[in-house]
């Protein structure tokens, strides 16, 4: 029996690859997940979303329903695939527009709302727009288009434009002070500089992120973390320029502060 944690990692990596559009890697990872843990409904549903063959999709959805007969996503997916398979078996209908025009062959499919040259039978389960696998976003309740996903995300963002200004006003001076103290104090620790800096930089950046969160009243904004990260990088830039005079070693501390700090802020304010 495969290790459950390993299979879960494969599943999460595969779904992440699918979300960013790396279909080939997603297909490879999710196939491994179904092989190592064939009783995972999520793995079979994930694989169904990234394979090209309708027959393969049908097999995946069928397997998911064998494991969980009441799964609504598997039921809807299988129904859609079976409809598309049935449409493929039927001869194309010829639609006559006028005697002067060539007849148009109807395939029973639509063209993607975002990629007009891509034919698809998939639709957003909220607004009904036709969407192709490249722009479809899998959710717990089915596939949705980018616009509906954005509308859904907007409900979680309660901040306004003023919050970006507040964030910059708080983050820049704190980052300037933090970068200055970090590069000045830690430069005297010799061999232990990198070890100490590895823990101190995220700690300082975490304090900056929390200060910003408090300053904006814990409101969430789509680009808040980008503004704070930009403030941190701009504040660290002078110390990077000063470090150029000391060679490569002079760039290590401000570079570490910028790199680890940006990652911490991005994670805290996501």
Residue range 119-136, pLDDT digits in tens: 776 778 778 888 888 888
Mean pLDDT of 96-100: 47
95 pLDDT above the threshold of 70: no
If one compares 1 and 229, the residue with the highest pLDDT of the two is 229
pLDDT on residue 107: 41
pLDDT of residue 108: 45
Helix (H) or strand (E) holding 10: helix 4-19
User: Residues spanned by CATH 1.25.40.10 within the chain?
Assistant: 4-89
Average pLDDT over residues 89-102: 52
Residue 38 CA to residue 232 CA, distance in Å, equals: 46
Q: CB of 78 within 8 A of CB of 68? A: no
Residue 63's closest CA among 26, 28, 37? 37
Q: Are 67 and 41 in contact (CB under 8 A)?
A: yes
More confident: 189 or 115: 115
Class of the domain covering 4-89: mainly alpha
Structure tokens that stand for 170 in this block: 């708080």
Q: How far apart are CA 213 and CA 207, in angstroms?
A: 10
**What is the spatial distance between Cα 251 and Cα 71, in angstroms, rounded to a whole number?**
55
- pLDDT at residue number 210: 95
Looking at residue 99, its pLDDT comes to 45
Helices and strands counted in the chain (H then E): 10, 6
Cα separation, 158 vs 154, in Å, equals: 8
From the list 136, 121, 130, the residue with the least C-alpha distance to 83 is 121
Q: What is the pTM of this model?
A: 0.50
* Residue 101 DSSP code: S
Contact of 212 with 171, CB cutoff 8 Å: yes
Q: What is the DSSP letter of 246?
A: G
Tell me: pLDDT of 152 over 80. no
Pick the most confident of 83-87, 220-224, 236-240. Answer: 236-240
Average pLDDT in the 196-201 region?
90
């Amino acid at each position: 029996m495969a290790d459950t944690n390993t299979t879960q990692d494969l599943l999460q990596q595969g779904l992440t690859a699918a979300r960013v559009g790396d279909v080939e890697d997603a297909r490879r990872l999710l196939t491994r997940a179904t092989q190592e843990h064939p009783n995972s409904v999520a793995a079979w549903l994930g694989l169904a979303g990234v394979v090209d063959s309708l027959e393969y999709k049908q097999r995946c959805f069928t397997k998911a329903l064998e494991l969980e007969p009441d799964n609504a996503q598997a039921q809807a997916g299988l129904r859609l695939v079976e409809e598309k398979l049935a449409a493929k078996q039927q001869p194309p209908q010829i639609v006559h527009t006028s005697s002067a025009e060539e007849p148009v062959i109807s395939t029973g499919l639509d063209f993607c709302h975002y990629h007009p040259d891509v034919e698809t039978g998939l639709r957003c389960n909220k607004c009904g727009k036709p969407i192709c696998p490249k722009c479809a976003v899998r959710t717990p309740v089915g596939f949705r288009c980018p616009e509906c996903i954005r509308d859904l995300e907007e409900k979680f963002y309660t901040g306004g434009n003023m919050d970006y200004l507040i964030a910059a006003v708080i983050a820049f001076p704190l980052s300037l002070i933090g970068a200055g103290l970090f590069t000045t104090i830690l430069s005297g620790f010799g061999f232990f500089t990198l070890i100490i800096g590895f823990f101190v930089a995220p700690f300082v950046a975490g304090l900056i992120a929390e200060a910003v969160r408090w300053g904006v009243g814990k409101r969430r904004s789509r680009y808040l973390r980008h503004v704070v990260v930009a403030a941190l990088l701009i504040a660290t830039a002078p110390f990077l320029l000063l470090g150029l005079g000391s060679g490569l070693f002079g760039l290590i501390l401000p570079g570490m502060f910028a790199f680890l700090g940006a990652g911490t802020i991005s994670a805290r304010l996501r």
